Amino acid sequence: MKHLSDFTAEDLAALARADVARALAEDVGTGDLTAALVDNGRTARARILAREPAVICGGPWVEAAVLACDAQARLHWHVAEGQRCGADQVVLEIEGRAQSLLTAERTALNFLQLLSAVATKTGAFVEAVAGTRAAIVDTRKTLPGLRLAQKYAVKTGGGVNHRIGLYDAVLIKENHIAAAGGVAAVLQKVQTDAPEAMFVEIEVETLPQLEEALRCGATMILLDNMDLPTLREAVRLNAGRAILEISGGVSFQTVRGLAETGVDRISIGALTKDVKAIDFSMRFDAL
C-alpha cells in the first residue's frame, strides 16, 4: 500500500470512493425508504453549513457520497479543503435530484464532521508549537477501517503522518526489546530482517536506555513519558545524532513546554482517537 505522501489525486479519490461505498452499503442497505417518498424527478439545492469554526476536510469523501447517489449532481465549494471556515458559514452548495441528495446526506456529513474535526484539532496543536522545531505527528490509534482517511485529515491540518501500519516501518517498544533480548540485539536484527522499512524507531524510557540506543546506532528514538527536565537532558545527550520523538500524556496544556525542550516530533494519539465531531448541517431548497 502506498504511503499518503505518494498519493495522487486519483489515489485519494479512489480511497474516498471505497470508504463511501462501505458507508452507503451500511446506511442504505436495500433502499432508502424515506427518500423514496419524494418524487424521483424533483430537483433540489442543498447547502452545507458549518455551525462552528473549523478546518474543512473531507471534500473527496463528500463528493464521492453525493456522486454515488447522483452522478449528475453539481457541487460548488465555498471553502476549499484545508481552509478555515467560520460559524454559520456555507461551505458547500449542491444541486441534484432531491431523492438522491437526501440519501447521500448523512454519509456525506459523517465524513465531513469526522475529518474536519481531526484536521481542526491537528491545526490547533500545530499552532501551539509554532516557532519550535517540533512537528505534530499522528499514531495508529485510528477508527478501524478509516486509518488512511484520518491520516489524510492530519496532513490537511498541518500535521505529519507516522507509519501507516505494522508493515511499512519498525517501531520497537519495551515488549519487543524484552522479547528480543535487549536494545542491541533487536537493533542488530532489524538490519537483516527489515531492510525495506520506511524507518526504524526504538522506544526508551530512561536516559541510560537512550545512551545505549545511541551507542547501537539508533537514528530515531521515541522518548516515552519523560518529564521536562529529563527531556531536556535527553536532547543534550543526543546532540543531534538521532531524531527524537515524544509520546505519552500530551495535551494542549503541555504541548508547548514539550516542544520547547528541542525535540523533533511529538506524537499524539488524541488527534484521531479523541475527536469531537464538527457540527455541520444540510439545508434543502426545492428547485
Residues 269 and 279 in one domain: no
Q: What is the pLDDT along the chain (287 residues), one digit of tens a residue?
A: 677 878 899 999 999 999 999 999 999 999 999 999 999 889 999 999 999 999 999 999 999 999 999 999 999 999 999 999 999 999 999 999 999 999 999 999 999 999 999 999 999 999 999 999 999 999 999 999 999 999 999 999 999 999 999 988 889 988 888 888 888 888 888 877 877 778 889 999 999 999 999 998 899 999 998 999 999 999 999 999 999 999 988 999 999 999 999 999 999 999 999 999 999 999 998 66
Q: How far is CA 41 from CA 70, 107, 208, in A?
A: 12, 22, 72
Residues 162 and 190 in one domain: yes
Residues 6+ apart with CB under 8 A from 111: 19, 20, 23, 58, 61, 62, 65, 149
Reply yes or no on whether 63 is catalytic. Answer: no
Reply yes or no on whether 151 is catalytic. Answer: no
Catalytic residue chosen out of the listed positions 63, 203, 245, 264: 203
Number of H helices, E strands in the chain: 10, 12
Residues 33 and 163 in one domain: no
- Which grid coordinates belong to 262? 528541542
Amino acid at 279: D
Question: Domain containing 214 — which CATH number?
Answer: 3.20.20.70
Catalytic residue chosen out of the listed positions 17, 84, 140, 173: 173
Reply yes or no on whether 106 is catalytic. Answer: yes
Catalytic residue chosen out of the listed positions 93, 211, 224, 260: 224
Question: Domain containing 38 — which CATH number?
Answer: 3.90.1170.20
| CB-count exposure of residue 19 (10 Å: 0-12, 13-18, 19+) | buried
Catalytic residue chosen out of the listed positions 45, 141, 232, 273: 141
Residues 206 and 74 in one domain: no
For residues 55 and 157, the answer to whether their CB atoms sit within 8 Å is yes
Residues 202 and 244 in one domain: yes
**Confidence (pTM):** 0.94
Beta strands in 7-110 (DSSP E): 43-50, 54-55, 74-77, 84-85, 89-97
Residues 70 and 138 in one domain: no
Reply yes or no on whether 10 is catalytic. Answer: no
Q: How far apart are CA 170 and CA 52, in angstroms?
A: 39
Domain that residue 58 falls in: 4-126+275-286
Residues 227 and 116 in one domain: no
Residues 113 and 158 in one domain: no
Reply yes or no on whether 224 is catalytic. Answer: yes
Residues 144 and 106 in one domain: no
Residues 86 and 217 in one domain: no
Number of domains in the chain: 2
Residues 268 and 281 in one domain: no
Residues 134 and 239 in one domain: yes
